C-alpha cells in the first residue's frame, strides 16, 4: 500500500505527461499488445510497480486524476477523517470506484449533514473525549446533541457516498449574493501542468477569480516573451474549459499568475502543503478590483 496527499499524485501525473504526451499515452493504452507493457513501465518509473493499491487523503482528489491512475492499473482508495475521530470515518472500496466521493462510513460510524449549511457531522465510539485542558474549545467542537463538527461541507449521492465539497468557513459570497465553494474549482485548476498551487477567492466581487502559483519549470519558461505568451495561451484555454464546467456564478473572471513561491516560511503554505486563504487575502485582496478592471483572462502578479 502507498499513501499520499493529492498534490503528490498530481505531480506524479505531470511528471509522466512531461515525458509522454497524454494523447500518445492514451493511444498506447488502447493497443492490447502494448497496454500492459506501458502500464508496468510507468508504474516502475514511479516506484509503484509493487503497489497493490494506494490511498489518498487530506483533500479530495479530482475524479479525472483517479481515472488516469485506474487506467494504469493502480486503484486509489480515498479516505476521509480527522484527528478528533481517530483519523478515519469513510473510505472508498477496492473494485468499487466512486470518483468524486470518499465512499460510505465504516460500520459503527454515523454521519449527517447540517440542513442549514451542509456541514458534515458525525459520531462514533472513536470520537475524542475533548481537547486537553481546553473545555471551551471542546464544547465548540460538538453539537448540543453530541455530534462532532467536522467543519467540512458535503453532499450525498444516490448510493449514500459522501462527497466533500469544501470547508464551511471557506465559502464566500460574491457581490451578486451567491455563495462559492472554492475547493472543487481549485481541484480543476491544479490539473494544468504549470500550476503548483492555487486559491479561488473574491468575496464581494461580481465573479470569483483565482491566484495561481506557477511551478519552477513554468517560472523559467515565463522568463522569455515567447514562453510567457505560450503560458498565457495555454492557461487561457484551461480557464475556458474549467469555466465551462461551472455554474454561472462560479465562473472565474481571471487567473492571476504568481512567480514567487508560496512557502511555509513566508506563511502562504501550511506544513501539510495547504494554501492559507487568510494569507492570500492579506497580501492580494487590495489588488482584486484592479485585476478585474483590467478585463483580461490572464494577468501576472507584479512585485
pLDDT attached to residue 167: 83
Nearest-angstrom CA–CA distance, 182 and 201: 7
94, part of any domain = no
245 and 224 within one domain: yes
234, part of any domain = yes
C-alpha cell at 142: 460538538
pLDDT attached to residue 179: 87
Q: What is the CATH number of the domain that holds 231?
A: 3.30.300.30
287, part of any domain = yes
37 and 155 within one domain: no
196 and 165 within one domain: no
92, part of any domain = no
Query: Whole-prediction pTM value?
Result: 0.71
For residues 204-231, one letter each, b for 16 or more C-beta atoms within 10 angstroms of the residue's C-beta and e for the rest, the string is ebebbbbbbbbbeebbebbeeeeebeeb
59, part of any domain = yes
Nearest-angstrom CA–CA distance, 212 and 261: 10
202 and 138 within one domain: no
Nearest-angstrom CA–CA distance, 44 and 277: 37
pLDDT attached to residue 57: 74
284 and 217 within one domain: yes
99, part of any domain = no
Last residue of a domain, one of 150, 169, 188: 169
236 and 201 within one domain: yes
Number of domains in the chain: 3
161, part of any domain = yes
pLDDT attached to residue 5: 57
Which residues, including other chains, have CB under 8 Å from residue 92's CB and lie 6 or more apart?
A: 77, 78, 79, 98, 101, 102, 103, 161
Which residues, including other chains, have CB under 8 Å from residue 3's CB and lie 6 or more apart?
A: 54, 55, 56, 57
186 and 264 within one domain: yes
Distance of CA 120 to the CA centre of its chain: 18
Averages of pLDDT over runs of 10 residues in the chain (303 residues) are 61 86 90 91 91 79 86 90 89 88 93 92 93 94 94 91 87 88 89 91 93 93 94 96 94 95 90 84 91 94 71
| Adjacent-strand bridge partners of 142 | 148
Last residue of a domain, one of 74, 94, 118: 74
* pLDDT tens sequence across 105-141: 999 999 999 998 889 999 999 999 999 999 999 999 9
208 and 291 within one domain: yes
Q: Are 58 and 79 in contact (CB under 8 A)?
A: no
262, part of any domain = yes
146 and 210 within one domain: no
pLDDT attached to residue 270: 85
pLDDT attached to residue 2: 44
192 and 293 within one domain: yes
pLDDT attached to residue 39: 93
pLDDT attached to residue 3: 47
279 and 178 within one domain: yes
Distance of CA 177 to the CA centre of its chain: 24
292 and 205 within one domain: yes
Last residue of a domain, one of 118, 142, 169: 169
Domain that residue 68 falls in = 2-74
Amino acid at each position: 500500500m502507498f499513501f499520499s496527499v493529492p498534490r503528490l499524485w498530481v505531480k506524479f501525473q505531470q511528471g509522466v505527461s512531461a515525458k509522454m504526451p497524454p494523447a500518445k499515452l492514451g493511444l498506447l493504452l488502447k493497443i492490447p499488445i502494448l497496454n500492459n507493457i506501458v502500464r508496468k513501465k510507468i508504474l516502475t518509473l514511479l516506484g509503484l510497480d509493487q503497489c497493490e493499491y494506494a490511498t489518498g487523503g487530506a483533500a479530495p482528489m479530482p475524479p479525472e486524476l483517479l481515472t488516469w491512475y485506474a487506467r494504469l492499473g493502480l486503484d486509489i482508495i480515498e479516505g476521509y477523517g480527522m484527528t478528533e475521530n481517530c483519523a478515519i470515518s469513510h473510505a472508498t472500496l477496492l473494485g468499487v470506484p466512486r470518483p468524486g466521493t470518499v465512499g460510505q462510513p465504516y460500520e459503527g460510524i454515523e454521519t449527517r449533514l447540517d440542513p442549514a449549511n451542509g456541514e458534515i457531522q458525525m459520531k462514533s465510539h472513536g470520537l475524542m473525549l475533548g481537547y486537553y485542558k481546553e473545555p471551551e474549545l471542546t464544547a465548540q467542537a460538538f453539537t448540543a446533541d453530541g455530534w462532532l463538527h467536522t467543519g467540512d461541507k458535503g453532499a450525498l449521492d444516490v448510493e449514500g457516498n459522501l462527497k466533500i465539497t469544501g470547508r464551511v468557513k471557506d465559502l464566500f459570497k460574491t457581490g451578486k449574493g451567491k455563495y462559492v465553494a472554492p475547493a472543487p474549482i481549485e481541484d480543476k485548476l491544479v490539473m494544468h501542468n504549470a500550476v503548483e498551487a492555487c486559491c479561488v477567492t473574491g468575496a464581494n466581487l461580481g465573479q470569483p477569480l483565482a491566484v495561481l502559483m506557477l511551478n519552477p519549470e513554468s517560472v523559467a519558461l515565463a522568463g522569455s516573451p515567447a514562453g510567457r505568451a505560450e503560458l498565457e495561451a495555454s492557461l487561457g484555454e484551461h480557464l475556458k474549459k474549467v469555466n465551462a464546467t461551472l455554474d454561472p456564478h462560479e465562473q472565474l473572471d481571471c487567473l492571476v499568475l504568481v512567480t514567487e513561491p508560496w512557502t511555509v516560511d513566508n506563511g502562504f503554505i501550511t506544513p501539510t502543503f495547504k494554501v492559507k486563504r487568510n494569507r492570500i487575502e492579506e497580501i492580494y485582496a487590495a489588488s482584486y478590483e484592479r485585476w478585474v478592471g483590467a478585463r483580461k483572462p490572464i494577468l501576472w502578479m507584479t512585485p
